[in-house]
């Protein structure tokens, strides 16, 4: 499929030359609303290019060299997350992430911690539903040592049985802390109802029962299936040269196999969206938390950039903000004037082949019927009631948001995600051109394709006795009758 520029999202190049040719020297008309925001295609085109190489074992190496700095973030991105688990090993990817910090034959835990501390580095890791990421932020001169430490952790960790048992308690405590976080719990429930019966419905940590059952063999089996060259990328951002990182990767990751050595290749179950809801009523809570979402097409969907603009058209709200009633967004105006919510934040959670676009709201117990009426009808109304001024303002905000990558770690994460999602880095000039190409027809077609008369997913926790039922909200996706 092609987007509104008539260009597919995934050609295998760093910058699509046809994009640059199409935008030329054209000014981004709304960019001047934001101080310091680039106003021409040429100025954005000066952003660093991303260099990408592929090693013999399929492992990719990507660098985005940033001039003028003396620090770099370097790390490894792996297609290994909850999406690649099943009912028997849910939580194993996150458990493996923990175990890779527990020592290698070359470095026990104490030596590993001491070496990282002496290096002055920050080494972190996290697991998501589709990836596991390990990275270090270091001085330019320390890049080789930091990457050597990471390679030792990823390819040589002992994963000792005793350490597995000790770490199990840590992960169970982590699970408990997440359960106490209402926002994280709500979005876990949203995934649970939106993707019923599929791995995307599972939590990243797994259930306490599953955490208690995972064994050392489960963890090693998962590592062998997923830590293979074609599923991994070594990424560097900042003060680092591509040739240097390629040389280090060839040396340090040469033993990464090209296929699973246990002959059990990774498997990703197809995404399957189910229109449904999960409601947890708790009248002792002072406020209700509600996540309301529709399915979208994922990172490579042609409407990805249109949805970025729609997020800005919806806008965000907090009851402490001044002037909410004068917002250019009718949704925010109505919420502010009627005091329908404490806050509203639009979100778009993206995966390789699916996504969830919606709104996260916090409200009191007695305004939820009017609130859901407002947001469900307001979203559909954008498909036929949208002025050019509002669209231009939203596009300017989307462009500003697209360039808010502060520091080498943010650039590292963006490059790694795009390499895994698109097979290339989408240059900022291309991203701005795609946003700039969004017009009223694109917004209309996107809303009618994804939201109009479509099933939704909803999760709510708290005093929700006035929250309308599923069918009431569903009818607002095609009718304005109350």
CA distance 292 to 358: 5
CA distance 280 to 461: 5
Query: Nearest to residue 455, comparing CAs of 469, 441, 475?
Result: 475
Reduced to 3 states (helix: H, G, I; strand: E, B; else coil), residue 83 is helix
pLDDT tens per residue across span 398-410:
999 988 878 899 9
Q: Are 464 and 291 in contact (CB under 8 A)?
A: no
Q: Are 196 and 70 in contact (CB under 8 A)?
A: no
- At 435, list the tokens: 């946003």
- Decide if 179 is catalytic: no
Query: Nearest to residue 289, comparing CAs of 205, 207, 206, 188?
Result: 188
pLDDT tens for the chain, 482 residues: list them.
Answer: 444 334 333 333 334 444 444 443 333 333 333 333 344 455 576 788 899 999 999 999 999 998 878 999 999 999 999 999 999 999 999 999 999 999 999 999 999 999 999 988 889 999 999 999 999 999 999 999 999 999 999 999 999 999 999 999 999 999 999 999 999 999 999 999 999 999 999 999 999 999 999 999 999 999 999 999 999 999 999 999 999 999 999 999 999 999 999 999 999 999 999 999 999 999 999 999 999 999 999 999 999 999 999 999 999 999 987 777 778 999 999 999 999 999 999 999 999 999 999 999 999 999 999 999 999 999 999 999 999 999 999 999 999 998 887 889 999 999 999 999 999 999 888 999 999 999 999 999 999 999 999 999 999 999 999 999 999 999 999 855 43
Pick the catalytic residue from 64, 85, 130, 167. Answer: 167
- At 4, list the tokens: 């509104």
CA distance 442 to 447: 9
Interhelix angle 388-402/428-436, rounded to 10 degrees, is 170
- Decide if 180 is catalytic: no
279 beta partners: 460
Interhelix angle 388-402/440-450, rounded to 10 degrees, is 80
Residue 268 carries which DSSP code?
A: -
208-126-112 Cα angle (round to 5): 100
At residue 24, what are phi and psi to the nearest 5 degrees?
A: 50, -130
Domain spanning 17-46+273-475: CATH superfamily: Metalloenzyme, LuxS/M16 peptidase-like (3.30.830.10)
50-252 has CATH 3.20.20.80 classification: no
pLDDT tens per residue across span 406-442:
889 999 999 999 999 999 999 888 999 999 999 999 9
CATH 3.30.830.10 boundaries in the chain? 17-46+273-475, 50-252
Pick the catalytic residue from 85, 97, 342, 414. Answer: 97
CA distance 318 to 342: 6
- List strands edge to edge, sheet with 355-363: 276-281, 457-462, 288-296, 355-363, 343-350, 317-318
Residues 6+ apart with CB under 8 A from 314: 329, 331, 332, 344, 346, 359, 378, 379, 382
Q: Are 443 and 313 in contact (CB under 8 A)?
A: yes
Torsion of CA 17, 20, 21, 24, to 10 degrees: -160
pTM, two decimal places: 0.89
Would you give the distance in Å from CA 370 to the centre of its chain?
Answer: 31
79-110-221 Cα angle (round to 5): 30
Strand stretches in 302-388, DSSP E: 317-318, 343-350, 355-363
Q: What is the CA radius of gyration of the chain?
A: 24
CA distance 336 to 343: 10
Reduced to 3 states (helix: H, G, I; strand: E, B; else coil), residue 331 is helix
At residue 61, what are phi and psi to the nearest 5 degrees?
A: -125, 125
- At 172, list the tokens: 């169970």
């Amino acid at each position: 499929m092609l987007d509104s520029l008539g260009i597919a999202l995934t050609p295998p190049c760093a910058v699509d030359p046809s994009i640059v040719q199409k935008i030329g020297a054209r000014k981004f008309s709304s960019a001047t609303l934001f101080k310091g925001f680039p106003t021409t295609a040429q100025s954005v085109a000066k952003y660093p290019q991303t260099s990408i190489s592929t090693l013999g074992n399929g492992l990719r190496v990507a660098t985005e060299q940033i001039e003028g700095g003396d620090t770099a973030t370097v790390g490894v991105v792996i297609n290994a997350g909850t999406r690649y688990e099943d009912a028997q090993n849910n939580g194993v990817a996150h458990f493996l992430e923990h175990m890779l910090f527990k020592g290698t034959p070359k470095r026990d835990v104490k030596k590993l911690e001491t070496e990282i501390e002496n290096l002055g580095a920050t080494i972190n890791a996290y697991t998501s539903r589709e990836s596991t990421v390990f990275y270090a932020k270091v001085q330019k001169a320390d890049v080789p040592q930091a990457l050597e430490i990471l390679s030792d952790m990823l390819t040589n960790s002992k994963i000792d049985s005793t350490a597995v048992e000790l770490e199990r308690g840590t992960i169970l405590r982590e699970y408990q802390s997440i359960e106490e976080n209402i926002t994280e719990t709500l979005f876990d429930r949203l995934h649970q109802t939106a993707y019923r019966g599929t791995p995307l419905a599972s939590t990243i940590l797994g259930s306490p029962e599953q955490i208690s059952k995972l064994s050392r063999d489960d963890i090693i089996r998962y590592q062998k299936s997923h830590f293979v060259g074609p599923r991994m990328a070594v990424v560097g951002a900042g003060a680092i040269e591509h040739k240097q990182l390629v040389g280090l990767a060839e040396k340090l990751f040469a033993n990464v196999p090209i296929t699973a050595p246990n002959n059990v290749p990774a498997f990703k179950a197809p995404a399957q969206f189910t229109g449904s809801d999960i409601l947890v009523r708790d009248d002792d809570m002072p406020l209700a938390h509600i996540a309301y979402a529709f399915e979208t097409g994922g990172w490579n969907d042609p409407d990805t950039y249109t949805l970025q603009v729609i997020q800005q058209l919806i806008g965000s709200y907090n009851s402490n903000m001044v002037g909410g009633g004068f917002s250019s967004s009718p949704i925010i105006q109505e919420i502010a004037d009627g005091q329908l919510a404490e806050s509203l934040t639009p979100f778009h959670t993206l995966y390789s082949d699916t996504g969830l676009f919606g709104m996260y709201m916090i409200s009191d117990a007695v305004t939820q019927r009017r609130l859901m009426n407002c947001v469900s009808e307001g979203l559909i109304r954008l498909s036929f009631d949208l002025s050019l001024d509002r669209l231009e303002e939203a596009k300017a905000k989307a462009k500003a948001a697209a360039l808010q990558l502060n520091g080498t770690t943010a650039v590292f994460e963006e490059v790694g995600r795009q390499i895994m999602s698109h097979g290339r880095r989408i240059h900022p000039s291309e991203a701005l051109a795609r946003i700039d190409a969004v017009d009223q027809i694109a917004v209309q077609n996107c809303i009618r394709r994804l939201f109009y008369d479509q099933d939704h997913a909803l999760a709510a926790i708290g005093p929700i006795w006035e929250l309308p039922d599923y069918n009431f909200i569903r009818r607002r996706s095609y009718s304005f009758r109350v």
